[in-house]
Amino acid sequence: MSELQAVERMLCRATGRRHALLVGNGTIGLTLCLQALGLAGRRVLLPDSSCLNVPLAVLHAGAVPDYAEVRLADLGLDAARLDAPLRGAGALLAVHGYGSPCDLVALQARADAAGCPLIEDACLALGGQGPGGRPLGGFGLASVLSFGAGKPVSLDHGGAVLTDDDALAARLRALDAGLPAFSAGAQARIDTLGGEHTRLYNQHCLVGGDGEAGNGAAAAAAMAGFRRRAQAAGPDFGHRFDPARCAELAAALPGLAATVALRQQRLQQLHEALAPWLGGALQWLAPVPGAVPWRANLLVAAPPARDRLLRALHAAGLHASSWHPPASDFLADAPAAHPVAGRIGREVLNLWLDARCTPAYRDAVCRVLDEQLAATA
C-alpha cells in the first residue's frame, strides 16, 4: 500500500466512508463531484452565505449556481425554502457554514423528494458530528474536505472527496488522474485571486473602505471584472494532491479530536469574556451541537457599527473578519435577495479561535469593544 493510499484509508476510518480520494484542494474536489455526476449546464443549489470557492467550484464544473437562503439557527441552508427551487436541480450542496452542522436530515429529505443528489461540503467541519453522532464528512452521495489554511486539519494544501458509491469513486479517480500535478505557480495565482476578492470587499462593501461602499457604477464594474477572472481560474484550482504532503497529513490526522476540543474550549472562553456585551450591542451566534467552531461569530448592528468595530480591531493589530458576504454579490449578474444571508453579510463579525486566541487576544478584543461600544451608547 502506498503512503497516499494509507492516508486515504485514515480518512475513510475518520468519516465512516468506503472511499476517499485525496485531491489538490476542496474547490477542485467539489468540481470533480459535479463533473462526475455530469451536471454541466444544470442548476446546483447552494447557500448564498458561503465561502466564494463553493460557487466557483460549480462554475468551474460548467454548472449553474442557484443561490438559496440560509437560517441563523445553524448558518446553513434553510430547508423549508427549498421545495420549489430544487425542482429540476442537478444537485444540492449542503455546506456546514462556519463549521456548524447544517440540517442534514431535512436537507437530505428535500433532495430525495426532488430526485437530486446531496453533496456535503464539510471543508470546515472535519472532526464534527451530525445526526446520531455520525461523523461529518459521512453524509450524502459524496462529501468534500479541505486541508487549507484555517481548516481543522490545516496544511495550506489539499483536500479529499469521500463517497460510499463504488461507481462514483471510480469516475472521480479517473477525472483526478487527468489533472496536472500540483504547481507553486498555480497556487500563487489562486492566492492572488483570493487577495483581489478581499481588496474588492474592503473597497466596495465596507462602510469607510478605500472607495465608495455600496452598489455604485464603480463597484458594479469591479465585480464584473472579478467574475470574469474568477471563472477563468478553473485550471489553476484543477491539480492533483501533492504526494510529498502525505506524511504531514498522516501526522496531523490523529490530533484532530484534540484540535476540535481546543477550539471549543477557546470559544467558551471567548464567550465568557464577551458576556458583558452580549444580548445588547452584540448577538452571539452559537454553533449547534457537533460543530467544529471555525470562528466565534457575532452579529453587530448594521453598518457602520460592525464596520467601524472591525476597523478598530484591525487598527489594534487584532485578527477579525466579516465573512461571508453573500456570494451572489460577487459572482451573480444580479445579487440574490436573501434577507438572512444579506444580514449576515452586513452584520457578522468573526473572531479567531486558533492559536492566536490567547488570553492577551481576548483581553485586547474586550478593550476595543469597551471603547467602541461605549462611544456609541
CA atoms within 13 A of residue 42's CA, in its CB half-sphere: 18
218 & 364 share domain = no
Whether the CB-CB separation of 208 and 304 falls below 8 Å is answered with yes
CATH number for the domain harbouring residue 142: 3.40.640.10
**Which residue, 197, 222, 249, sits at the end of a domain?**
249
133 & 86 share domain = yes
196 & 264 share domain = no
Residue 156 has pLDDT above 50, yes or no: yes
Element (H, E) at 166: helix 166-177
312 & 175 share domain = no
209 & 243 share domain = no
Write the burial class of residue 346 (CB in 10 Å: 0-12 exposed, 13-18 middle, 19+ buried): buried
Amino acid, single-letter form, for residue 249? L
Residue 23 has pLDDT above 80, yes or no: yes
63 & 121 share domain = yes
CB neighbour list of residue 137: distance below 8 Å, 6 or more residues apart: 11, 14, 15, 17, 120, 122, 125, 126, 143, 145, 162
42 & 153 share domain = yes
Write the burial class of residue 363 (CB in 10 Å: 0-12 exposed, 13-18 middle, 19+ buried): exposed
**Which residue, 249, 281, 300, sits at the end of a domain?**
249
**What average pLDDT does the segment 20-29 reach?**
98
216-239 pLDDT, tens per residue? 678 788 888 988 999 999 999 999
- Report the pLDDT value the prediction gives residue 330, as an integer from 0 to 100: 84
18 & 91 share domain = yes
215 & 243 share domain = no
Domain count, the chain: 3
Write the burial class of residue 73 (CB in 10 Å: 0-12 exposed, 13-18 middle, 19+ buried): middle
Give the mean pLDDT of the chain. 93
202 & 98 share domain = no
Confidence of residue 211 (pLDDT cuts 50, 70, 90): very low
CATH number for the domain harbouring residue 296: 3.90.1150.10
261 & 298 share domain = yes
Residue 127: strand, helix, or coil? coil
320-321 and 295-300 beta bridge pairing: unpaired
Confidence of residue 137 (pLDDT cuts 50, 70, 90): very high
To the nearest whole percent, how much of the chain has pLDDT over 70? Answer: 97
Residue 72: strand, helix, or coil? coil
As a whole number of angstroms, the distance between CA 110 and CA 10 comes to: 31
The verdict on whether omega for the bond into residue 324 sits within 30 degrees of 0, i.e. cis, is: yes
C-alpha cell at 291: 460543530
Residue 332 has pLDDT above 90, yes or no: no
Instruction: Give the bridge partners for 297, in sequence order.
Output: 285, 350
35-52 pLDDT, tens per residue? 999 999 999 999 999 999
- Report the pLDDT value the prediction gives residue 77, as an integer from 0 to 100: 98
**What average pLDDT does the segment 179-186 reach?**
95
Instruction: Give the bridge partners for 67, in sequence order.
Output: 46
- For residues 204 and 103, which has the higher predicted lDDT (pLDDT)? 103
112 is in which domain, residue-wise?
A: 3-182+238-249
User: Degrees (nearest 5) of the Cα angle 147, 161, 129?
Assistant: 70
- Report the pLDDT value the prediction gives residue 202, as an integer from 0 to 100: 85
279 & 201 share domain = no
Element (H, E) at 236: helix 234-237
**What average pLDDT does the segment 115-123 reach?**
98
As a whole number of angstroms, the distance between CA 112 and CA 195 comes to: 38
Residue 374 has pLDDT above 90, yes or no: no
**Which residue, 210, 227, 249, sits at the end of a domain?**
249
**What average pLDDT does the segment 186-215 reach?**
79
Q: Which of 289, 347, 314 is nearest to 128 (CA)?
A: 289
Residue 1 has pLDDT above 90, yes or no: no
CA atoms within 13 A of residue 119's CA, in its CB half-sphere: 30
- For residues 362 and 331, which has the higher predicted lDDT (pLDDT)? 362
- Report the pLDDT value the prediction gives residue 6, as an integer from 0 to 100: 97
